[in-house]
Amino acid sequence: MAHEYRLAVTWAEDPGTVDYRSYTRDHVVTAGGKPALEGSADRAFRGNAARWNPEELLVAALSECHLLSFLHVAAEAGLVVTAYADAPVGRMTKDDDGGWSFESVVLHPTVTATGDADLETLHHAAHEACFIARSVAFPVTVEPADAG
- The mean predicted confidence, pLDDT, of the chain is 94
* CA–CA gap between residue 96 and residue 99 (Å, rounded): 7
Strands (E), 73-136: 80-85, 89-94, 100-107, 110-114
H helices then E strands: how many in the chain?
2, 8
Residues of the chain with pLDDT > 70: what percent?
Answer: 98
* CA–CA gap between residue 143 and residue 141 (Å, rounded): 7
What are 47-96's pLDDT values in tens digits?
999 999 999 999 999 999 999 999 999 999 999 999 999 999 999 999 99
Q: Are β-strands 100-107 and 89-94 bridged in parallel, bridged antiparallel, or unpaired?
A: antiparallel
What are 132-142's pLDDT values in tens digits?
999 999 999 99
* CA–CA gap between residue 1 and residue 16 (Å, rounded): 41
Residue 81: strand, helix, or coil: strand
126 conformational bin, left if phi > 0, alpha if psi -120 to 50, beta if neither: alpha
With 60 as the cut, is the pLDDT of residue 148 above it?
no
Q: Residue 146 has what pLDDT?
A: 58
Going by the DSSP 8-state scheme, the letter that residue 19 receives in this structure is S
Structural domains in the chain, CATH included, are 1-52 (no CATH), 54-142 (3.30.300.20)
3 vs 6, 42, 131, CA distance in Å?
A: 10, 29, 12
Q: Is the pTM of this model over 0.75?
A: yes
Q: Which residues, in sequence order, are CB contacts of 98 under 8 Å at separation 6+?
A: none
